[in-house]
């Protein structure tokens, strides 16, 4: 193929989150000789947008919020202006608007990015996805659990759904970083055992169960508790920490982009998420050789095996989290063994280069299958 494909990735915003991190990873790992990536944020830009620009990828921010007609018209213009060959849209509203615009503009390849396992069936979403299925050439799912749900709920053809797991930059997120230096950057005591959560401050991430577990852990341990991230539920999560009686024990760092530094500073990473797809933040913690505790959400279980490369606990179970924390706190040997096993898992199966190669090949294959039909 001599043609350089123009790929438009459409997302809701480019400030923080797993989908946004996926676009950033894509900008770093696609074959730039065969693919030209353009990232389009419907609502806003942000820290991740600036990093994407730093990789030489064009970023376009429309600045519309829940304005479907204006958004679709703007996307049609953008598609035509840049001669887009493939539209790949993420999440509900961007996927809805992006695919409609692609249909109107006559884009040869139209794709949807599926990234969450939902707890409850959403009939309107299912109906609209079924309607757009006829014009959609492929769905990328970040994990097997996500793929199974969209096949079941939306009636997609199995041949259209492709599982491509997220990848992580294992050189950036590395145990080779000096732990003492990373703790110093974050203002942490060098001799403190650091236990933390990293991620968007949403109730679905399970922070409240982490806080309840902190309250249950033996008070004689010398631990620095850490929470990194921001989000729409920040006030509710702060209140949950206060209600659990642990707010004063926790260092809240807010939104940061030096997550590799945060992960290396953390000795025990806690991830009690209630709703997920295939979490980037878990990959980053494992790549950094953290000793991991994670909920038994299906997305987590695609990378984590209990007692092998981490400890798995039941969702919404603070007692099990507390027990797992105390196991790790009491055993430096266990922490080291699990951390090294986690790192090996990432190196073998979830590198950013593997992710970029799979996405590059998929784009090229879909173009070859569908461009001649236009």
When pLDDT is averaged across residues 289-306 and rounded to a whole number, the result is 97
Q: How confident is the model at residue 17 (pLDDT cuts 50, 70, 90)?
A: confident
Separation of alpha carbons 80 and 278, rounded Å: 33
Tell me the CA distances in angstroms from 102 to 30, 88, 120, 134, one per residue in order: 22, 9, 29, 13
Distance CA 304, CA 290 (A): 13
Is the pLDDT confidence value at 34 over 70? yes
Alpha helices in the chain (DSSP H): 18-29, 47-54, 68-81, 92-105, 123-132, 144-154, 179-185, 207-216, 234-243, 259-265, 280-287, 298-301, 318-330, 332-349, 352-370
Q: Which pLDDT score is estimated for 119? A: 84
For the segment 314-367, what is each residue's pLDDT rounded down to a tens digit? Answer: 999 999 999 999 999 999 999 999 999 999 999 999 999 999 999 999 999 999
- For residues 272 and 18, the model is more confident at 272
Q: What is the pLDDT of residues 95-109, one digit of tens each?
A: 999 999 999 999 999
Q: What is the mean pLDDT of residues 35-64?
A: 96
CB 168 within 8 A of CB 352: yes
**pLDDT reported for residue 1:** 61
- Cα 192 to Cα 207, 223, 225, 254, 309, distances in angstroms: 21, 6, 10, 20, 23
Confidence of residue 130 (pLDDT cuts 50, 70, 90): very high
What is the per-residue pLDDT for 263? 98
Domain boundaries, the chain: 5-167+352-373, 179-349
Q: How far apart are CA 257 and CA 195, in angstroms?
A: 19
CA atoms of 197 and 136, how far apart (whole Å): 37
pLDDT recorded at residue 374: 59
Quote the pLDDT of residue 371. Answer: 78
Domain spanning 5-167+352-373, CATH architecture: 3-Layer(aba) Sandwich (3.40)
Rounded to whole angstroms, the Cα distance separating 7 from 37 reads: 5
Through-space distance between the first and last CA atoms of the chain, rounded to whole angstroms? 17
Evaluate whether 5-167+352-373 and 179-349 have a shared fold: yes
Instruction: Compute the chain's Rg from CA coordinates.
Output: 21
Q: Which of 253, 264, 212, 194 has its CA nearest to residue 229?
A: 253
Task: Region of 104 please: left (phi>0), alpha (psi -120 to 50) or beta.
Answer: alpha
Inter-residue contact 41 to 14 (CB < 8 Å): yes
**C-alpha angle with apex 347: 55 to 328, nearest 5 degrees?**
115
Whether residue 270 has pLDDT greater than 90: yes
- pLDDT for the residue numbered 2: 76
Q: State the pTM of this model.
A: 0.93
What would the mean pLDDT of 141-155 be, rounded to a whole number? 94
The topology under which CATH files domain 179-349 is Rossmann fold (3.40.50)
pLDDT at 373 over 80: no
Give me 102's structure tokens.
């692609």
> How far, in Å, CA of 30 to CA of 26, rounded?
6
């Amino acid at each position: 193929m001599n043609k350089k494909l123009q790929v438009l990735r459409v997302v809701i915003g480019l400030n923080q989150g797993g989908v946004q991190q996926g676009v950033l990873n894509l900008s770093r790992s696609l074959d730039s000789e065969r693919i030209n990536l353009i990232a389009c944020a419907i609502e806003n830009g942000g820290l991740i947008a600036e990093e994407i620009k730093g990789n030489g990828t064009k970023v376009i921010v429309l600045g519309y919020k829940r304005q479907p007609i204006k958004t679709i018209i703007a996307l049609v213009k953008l598609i035509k202006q840049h001669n887009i060959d493939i539209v790949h849209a993420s999440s509900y509203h961007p996927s809805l608007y992006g695919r409609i615009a692609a249909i109107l503009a006559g884009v040869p390849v139209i794709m949807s990015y599926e990234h969450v396992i939902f707890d409850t069936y959403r009939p309107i979403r299912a109906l609209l996805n079924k309607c757009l299925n006829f014009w959609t050439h492929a769905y990328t799912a970040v994990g097997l659990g996500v793929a199974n749900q969209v096949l079941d709920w939306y009636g997609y053809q199995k041949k259209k759904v492709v599982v491509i797991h997220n990848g992580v930059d294992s050189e950036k997120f590395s145990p080779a970083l000096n732990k003492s230096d990373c703790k110093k950057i974050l203002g942490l005591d060098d001799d403190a055992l650091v236990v933390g959560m990293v991620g968007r401050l949403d109730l679905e991430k399970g922070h409240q169960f982490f806080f309840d577990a902190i309250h249950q852990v033996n008070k004689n341990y010398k631990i620095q508790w850490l929470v990194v991230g921001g989000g729409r539920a920040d006030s509710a999560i702060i209140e949950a920490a206060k209600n659990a009686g642990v707010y004063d024990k926790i260092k809240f760092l807010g939104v940061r982009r030096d997550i590799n530094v945060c992960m290396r500073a953390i000795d025990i990473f806690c991830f009690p998420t209630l709703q997920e797809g295939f979490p980037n933040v878990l990959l980053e913690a494992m790549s950094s050789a953290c000793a991991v505790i994670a909920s038994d959400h299906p997305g987590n279980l695609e990378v984590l095996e209990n007692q092998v490369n981490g400890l798995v606990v039941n969702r919404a179970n603070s007692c099990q989290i507390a027990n797992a924390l105390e196991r790790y706190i009491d055993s430096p040997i266990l922490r080291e063994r699990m951390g090294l096993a986690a790192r090996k898992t990432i190196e073998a199966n979830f590198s950013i280069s593997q992710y970029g190669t799979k996405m590059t090949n998929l784009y090229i294959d879909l173009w070859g299958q569908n461009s001649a039909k236009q």
